[in-house]
């Protein structure tokens, strides 16, 4: 095996010797023929020596018929057998692999489309490069792409990346089957006398006009065709879900907690990977005291440093989409995106700050903060000192706008509480202004949220803190109407 690999390295070195462009110019003439002939033969020999028995079904499409091969399911580096069967096409590979001794030279001779995970524009540049090669009309070799973007256990087909389908060119689906059961670890595979591999080339899929205009639709239809032929289901999970699963395990959460169908919800909610990864840290901090990686009402209240009240239960139910009494990570992400983040705008934060700043001096005292929180939650005797100290970063006993804004952006869970309270105040003011029969004193005071009076509280100049006036108290039926 080592001799075959070194021989492949030698031919790859000769073919790429003094070749200009370093991957930006296609190999032509004798260089390309040498790679196709020698590496194809050596790769087939290598797999034969390792005990692989390859069975091929279907017809391999030419470069003009299908510039791109899409292969699935992707489960190990043994899947590279497809390269030997298709004339050593270009592949998509990590940029770091090109610097690997020996293997890097062999890989470079295939002129891969390199992907750098450190470059934020790498994904966009990769799609541009794939499109350029697919539309080159034969100047570049065919491209072999594993659209799942990661290895799986072959029990289903996960979401296909759209890179292979953006160029709007015909693609040939390629199926991989391993009838042997022990093809999970390299050592276990090589310990077998032989390993059967079935490679099936399905008919070329020519995109319709609708599919050309929608790469996501194009990818899904090709995936469904392949899943039907393989007789396996499809799932909306992606490589990003695998990364979240690993991160969840590192945070002592059950690994399945990271399964959120990232691509599906990110497309609908315009989510970014880094933001979701940060939310996983917060979720882990909340769920650390619970079992099973889910948040109950108790953990939710403890994280918010608030008591369990009717208002908090209503907020919890907005997150708990399936109504099972707990919040998993997927529900948490969706809840933040739909309920909290849209409400957590600069304008809303500024309005909330003015709401708390009752004496309009540009800062919020603990008494002012407690007044609104107690009224919003309907708990007059609530102790908010711990929550206040967490927001008071400089420990001055007063909250500046910057401190308040920084806390609001880092803890969007509170946004829905405050915006709901703001809407209630607006509603009550509108109702009072429309009621011409009310006295001027009533019109300039807010309706109390609870029937329990809050005593010894100064009247706010911005009229947002409920006054301790018994005439303003609502009956039980009035509260239900509100």
pLDDT on residue 453: 37
- Among residues 248, 330, 336, 246, the alpha carbon closest in space to that of 288 is found at 248
- Among residues 214, 230, 232, 76, the alpha carbon closest in space to that of 146 is found at 76
- Among residues 80, 97, 84, 76, the alpha carbon closest in space to that of 42 is found at 84
Question: What is 239-340's CATH number, 1.10.238.10, 3.40.140.10, 1.20.1740.10, 3.90.1150.10?
Answer: 1.10.238.10
Q: pLDDT, tens digit, for every residue of 160-202?
A: 888 899 999 999 999 999 887 654 555 566 667 788 889 999 9
Question: What is 1-230's CATH number, 3.30.1370, 3.30.200, 3.40.1130, 2.40.50?
Answer: 3.40.1130
Task: Output the average pLDDT for the chain.
Answer: 76
CATH 1.10.238.10 segments of the chain: 239-340, 353-428
Most confident range, picked from 29-33, 267-271, 286-290: 29-33
pLDDT category at 223 given cuts 50, 70, 90 is: very high
CATH 3.40.1130 segments of the chain: 1-230
- Among residues 274, 69, 251, the alpha carbon closest in space to that of 169 is found at 69
Q: Which fold has domain 353-428?
A: Recoverin; domain 1 (1.10.238)
pLDDT on residue 57: 93
Residue 444, pLDDT above cutoff 50: no
Q: pLDDT, tens digit, for every residue of 128-157?
A: 999 999 998 888 999 999 998 888 878 888
Strand partners, 157: 234
**Rounded Cα–Cα distance for residues 172 and 132 (Å):** 18
Cis preceding linkage at 477, omega within 30: no
Vertex 183 angle, CA 180 and 185, to 5°:
155
Q: Phi first, then psi: what are they for 50, rounded to 5°?
A: -80, 0
pLDDT category at 104 given cuts 50, 70, 90 is: confident
pLDDT category at 259 given cuts 50, 70, 90 is: low
**Higher-pLDDT residue of 269, 70:** 70
Q: pLDDT, tens digit, for every residue of 354-411?
A: 777 778 888 888 888 887 777 666 666 667 788 888 888 888 888 888 888 888 777 7
Q: pLDDT, tens digit, for every residue of 27-60?
A: 888 888 999 899 999 999 988 888 888 999 999 9
């Amino acid at each position: 095996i080592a001799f075959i690999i070194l021989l492949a390295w030698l031919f790859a070195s000769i073919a790429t010797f003094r070749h200009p462009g370093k991957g930006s110019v296609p190999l032509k003439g004798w260089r390309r023929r040498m790679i196709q002939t020698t590496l194809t033969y050596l790769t087939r020999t290598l797999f034969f020596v390792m005990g692989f028995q390859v069975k091929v079904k279907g017809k391999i499409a030419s470069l003009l018929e299908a510039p791109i091969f899409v292969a699935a399911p992707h489960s190990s580096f043994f899947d590279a057998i497809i390269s030997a069967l298709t004339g050593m096409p270009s592949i998509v590979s990590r940029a770091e692999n090109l610097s690997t001794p020996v293997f890097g030279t062999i890989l470079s001779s295939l002129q891969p489309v390199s992907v750098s995970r450190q470059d934020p524009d790498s994904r966009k540049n990769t799609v541009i490069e794939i499109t350029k090669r697919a539309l080159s009309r034969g100047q570049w070799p065919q491209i072999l792409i594993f659209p799942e973007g990661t290895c799986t256990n072959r029990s289903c087909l996960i979401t296909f990346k759209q890179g292979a389908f953006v160029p709007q060119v015909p693609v040939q689906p390629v199926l991989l089957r391993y009838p042997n059961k022990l093809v999970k670890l390299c050592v276990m595979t090589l310990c077998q006398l032989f390993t059967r591999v079935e490679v099936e080339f399905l008919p070329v899929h020519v995109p319709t006009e609708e599919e050309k205009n929608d790469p996501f639709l194009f990818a899904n239809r090709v995936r469904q065709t392949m899943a039907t032929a393989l007789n396996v289901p499809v799932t909306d999970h992606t490589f990003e879900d695998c990364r979240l699963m690993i991160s969840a395990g590192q945070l002592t959460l059950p690994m399945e907690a990271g399964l959120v169908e990232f691509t599906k919800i990110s497309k609908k909610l315009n989510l970014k990977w880094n933001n979701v990864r940060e939310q996983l840290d917060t979720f882990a901090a909340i769920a650390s005291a619970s079992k099973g990686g889910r948040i109950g009402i108790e953990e939710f209240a403890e994280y918010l440093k608030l008591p369990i009240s009717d208002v908090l239960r209503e907020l919890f139910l907005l997150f708990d989409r399936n109504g099972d009494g707990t919040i998993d990570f997927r529900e948490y992400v969706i809840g933040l995106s739909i309920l909290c983040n849209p409400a957590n705008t600069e304008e809303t934060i500024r309005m909330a700050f003015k709401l708390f700043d009752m004496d309009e001096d540009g800062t919020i005292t603990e008494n002012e903060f407690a007044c609104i929180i107690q009224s919003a939650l309907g708990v007059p005797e609530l102790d908010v000192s711990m929550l206040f100290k967490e927001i008071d970063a400089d420990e001055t006993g007063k909250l500046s706008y910057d401190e308040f804004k920084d806390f609001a952006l880092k803890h969007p869970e509170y946004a829905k509480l405050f915006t709901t309270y703001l809407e209630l105040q607006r509603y009550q003011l509108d109702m009072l202004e429309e009621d011409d029969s009310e006295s001027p004193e009533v019109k300039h005071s807010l309706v109390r949220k609870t029937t329990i009076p809050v005593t010894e509280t100064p009247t706010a100049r911005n009229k947002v803190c409920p006054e301790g006036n018994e005439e303003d108290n609502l009956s039980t039926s009035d509260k239900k109407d509100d």
